[in-house]
Structure 1
Amino acid sequence: MMTKLGVLLAGRGAVAGAEVRDALAGAGLTMRSAFTLTHLAGGPVNQQTLIDLLGVDPSALVTVLNELEAAGLVSRQRDPADRRRHIVVITAAGSRVLTVADQVLDKADENLFAALSPSEREQLQGLLAKVADSGSCGEKY
């Protein structure tokens, strides 16, 4: 009997998730904080847009932003166009931490996908992106 793809992916996903969480913890981040910083790396984003991009409950994002702000990795500023809104900006320290996170994640990928050639890794990335884009995977974080 062939193993179901979802079961196989869930099993490897648990292993990959643990390795990625450990790698990020070494950089002082969680998965949620890393996703958030990644979205802010391109420039300031208003908080509501960030909620939409990450596909999360507003209270979950506020918790992450509070942690990142306390660590000096992001700052929130009032939107001059609408004082009710906040603009979230990655700080220089946040950018440095994100660079470290990228490096530790590269190492985690090397460990997780050592058996795959570069073209197989690219193919897997494309297939997983296609599954994620189908909307069948739930929240992004």
Structure 2
Amino acid sequence: MAGQRAADSRQSPRKDFLVAESPGYLLIKAGVVLDEEASKALATIGMRNRYFLVLASLAGGPSLSQQDLSRLLNLDPTTVVSVIDEMERNAHVERQRDPADRRRYRLHLTDAGREALARASALVAEVETEFFGSLTHHELGMFRDMLGRVMAGRWPESVCG
């Protein structure tokens, strides 16, 4: 009975909704602040967040197409093309025709791209360590797990797993 009441209270909307106590609002604000801090750190090496996210996305797992990146990062396809063009000029990525579909390109990091990613990843890791510094290692793991559960079914599974 007590368990049922607790479940019911979690599901019913609050009548006195306070934005500063809303988990969704706090998550958005945390994301904005973290994004700003990461942007400042990445700017010290002449990199933007978007560029970093594309580099990091290309580093793990199977090769991705520009369309895959667009879905994965929730970026407009035109934006992805312009970032990839810039990355290609910087010799950080190579486009290769997809043998299964000649209209598509698969993207691969170059050695220079992996080096740029390593420098940027170190900066972002410092920012995240500072940002999440009030959480214990265990709490941070729990937070990551909870976010994973919240995002389950809301992420482009065809790209991510």
Question: Does 1:31 find its partner at 2:60?
Answer: no
Aligned residues between the structures: 136
Aligned CA RMSD, in angstroms, stands at 2.3
* Partner Cα distance (1:88, 1:8) in 2: 35
Q: 2:115 aligns with which of 96, 100, 111?
A: 96
Please list the CA deviations of residues 24-61 of structure 1 after superposition, one character each: whole Å capped at 9, or x if unmatched: 22343222212211221135333333333334332121
The unaligned stretches of length 5 or more in structure 1 are 137-141
The unaligned stretches of length 5 or more in structure 2 are 1-15, 156-161
Question: Does 1:16 find its partner at 2:34?
Answer: yes
Aligned pairs for 1:46-125 (under 5 A) are: 46-125=65-144
- Matched to 1:34, the amino acid is F
- TM-score by structure 1 length? 0.80
- Paired position in structure 2 for 1:128: 147
Question: Does 1:7 find its partner at 2:60?
Answer: no
- TM-score by structure 2 length? 0.72
Moved over 4 A (4+): none
Kept in 2: contact 1:27–1:97 (CA 8 A): no
Percent identical pairs in the alignment equals 35
Kept in 1: contact 2:91–2:112 (CA 8 A): yes
Decide which structure has the larger Cα Rg and report it. 2
Change (3 A) 1:85 1:115: same
